Amino acid sequence: MISLRIRRALLLALASVLLCAPQTAAAQAPAAPAAPARTATPDRPSYEVSLRADADGSHWTGRQTVSFRNSARTPLRSVDVRLWGNGADGCGAPEVPSPVRVDRVTGGTPRPLTVDCTALRIDLPAPLPYGARTSISFDVDITVPDRVHRFGKDGAHRYLGNALPLLSVRDAQGRHLDPDVGFGESFYTLSGDFRVVLDHPAALVVPATGTTTRRAGAPGRTVTTSLAHGVRDFAWAAGPFLSKTVTTPGGVRLNAYWTAATSPEGVALALQDGTGLVDAFGKRFGRYPYGELDLVMSDNLDDFGSMEFPGLVLLWTEPDGSAAVHEIAHQWFYGIVGNDQFAAPWLDESFAQYANQSYYGEDTTTCWEDQPMWPSVTAAITRPMSYFADGHRSEYSRVVYGRGSCALHDLERVLGTPAMAAMLRDYVRDHWQGVSTTADFKRAAQAATPQDLTPFWTEHRIL
């Protein structure tokens, strides 16, 4: 995502300069360490969701079924469902319950909610052996909060990002039950398939992740069905959006949706940028696999910013543009190549920012010049969200977006542009719809040069 604060900080950073020239000596290529064994489970999730909206899209109720496989050698005794939509409101209050509620669980036994009502553990009736599949089902009740936010309201428009309950991940590090820290992202999910049926008033236009079809429902209602394969989240919006569809020369359908108050110049710019860059990023990182991409735009998101979801980006749009390039770059770095966004936010944000700057051909040779080079002795590009949330909030944008993208441009100068491009293409291919780690990226970069990158990582605080 990119917030107003981050956008301003980056504009300041771009106005300044200094090259942190890598002090690395040519050496024999060190042997690349073997990839660590890791098994993330439950994997290959398949979501079947059917929701019905109230008259203005503020309240959605229905049923959700998730099937999944145990890909770990040890039997799976329980799964964790994350209710990220409760991140801001927690457990609510008796008169104002949590925005996302789950009830009538079948296929397992629910425990009490934890992590400020963002985590629900469901014990399976019997341990699920390695390779076996099972499913759980539950009622879902979603009330869109009254705030301008990725999960919130914007006049007559509703944004339902992070609203749908998702399976959490268990891997070599254990269960991932990290909190929502109120900025950036804490999300970590595995790619899966979604079939989401949304029954809503016909007056509401409903952009959604995936390939979307619409048919008439009961009198005055429309049923929007979205199919998405190989995505790690599902988002939608609802409201009286204006819309326009273009097809890129590479064959991707680009659907623009915007609120009536949004500047036509900003909408046109986002469509123009989007049309060129979906194909350009496809050539650079691997063809955009989802066929369809929705740009949902509003001029009223200035207190929030912009946010990426698979196949759908929410853009704060002004007459002079939006963060369309950064957010669409996230389709590759976060979406196609996943990461634990709590443990390693740089793996999506620094990469999206690097891709954004490359696309615009910005001069980054001097991107280290603003002083001090690091905001603290402990600052590092690879710090987790827990570090930034624990007294280092002010370092987040400067280090993860600013320093992280600078470091990638420096790496490109070390490897050379063709080798960097080839390395990134291979890196995306090797983690296609999977998950990458900092160690994976360092290994990929090291394999692209005979030069020992150890000093580079140390100097750039990629630890």
Residue with Cβ nearer Zn ion (117 or 181): 181
CA–CA gap between residue 360 and residue 47 (Å, rounded): 37
Site string for Zn ion, 114-133 (x = CB under 5 A): --------------------
Query: Considering the complex, what minimum distance in angstroms separates the CB of residue 178 from Zn ion?
Result: 18
- Per-residue contact flags (x/-) with Zn ion for residues 336 to 355, judged by CB under 5 A: -------------x--x---
**Count of residues near Zn ion by CB under 5 A:** 4
CA angle (105 as vertex; 103, 108 as ends), nearest 5: 150
* Selected range binding Zn ion among 2-10, 100-108, 113-121, 252-260, rule: CB under 5 A: 2-10
Per CB under 5 A, the list member of 1, 79, 83, 204 interacting with Zn ion is: 1
Q: Give the shortest CB-323-to-Zn ion separation in angstroms.
A: 8
Which residues sit opposite 129 in a β-bridge?
none
CB of 26 to Zn ion, least distance (A): 35
Alpha helices in 286-416 (DSSP H): 324-329, 346-359, 385-389, 396, 404-415
- Identify the three-state secondary structure at position 356: helix
Q: Find the shortest distance in angstroms from Cβ 398 to Zn ion.
A: 14
> Minimum CB separation from Zn ion for residue 4, in Å?
13
150 vs 170, beta carbon nearer Zn ion: 150
Q: How far is the CB of 2 from Zn ion (least distance, A)?
A: 5
Residue 1 or 79 having the CB closest to Zn ion: 1
Q: Judged by CB, which is closer to Zn ion: 99, or 305? A: 305
Residue 57 to residue 391: CA distance in whole angstroms: 38
Biggest CA-to-CA distance, the chain: 72
**DSSP assigned state of 29:** P
What phi, psi does 48 have (nearest 5°)?
A: -120, 115
Please report, for residues 74, 81, 105, the alpha-carbon distance to residue 128 in angstroms, rounded to integers and kept in the order given.
9, 17, 18
SS3 content of the chain, % helix, strand, coil (to 5): 25, 30, 45
Site for Zn ion, residues 368 to 427, rule: CB under 5 A:
none
Return the number of other C-beta atoms located less than 10 Å from residue 303's C-beta.
Answer: 11
Q: Which is nearer to Zn ion, 318 or 426 (CB)?
A: 318
- Our CB check for Zn ion shows the closer of 381 and 448 to be 381
Q: Supply the minimum distance, in Å, between the C-beta of residue 244 and Zn ion.
A: 25
Cα 272 from Cα 361, distance rounded (Å): 17
Q: Which residues bind Zn ion (CB under 5 A)?
A: 1-2, 349, 352
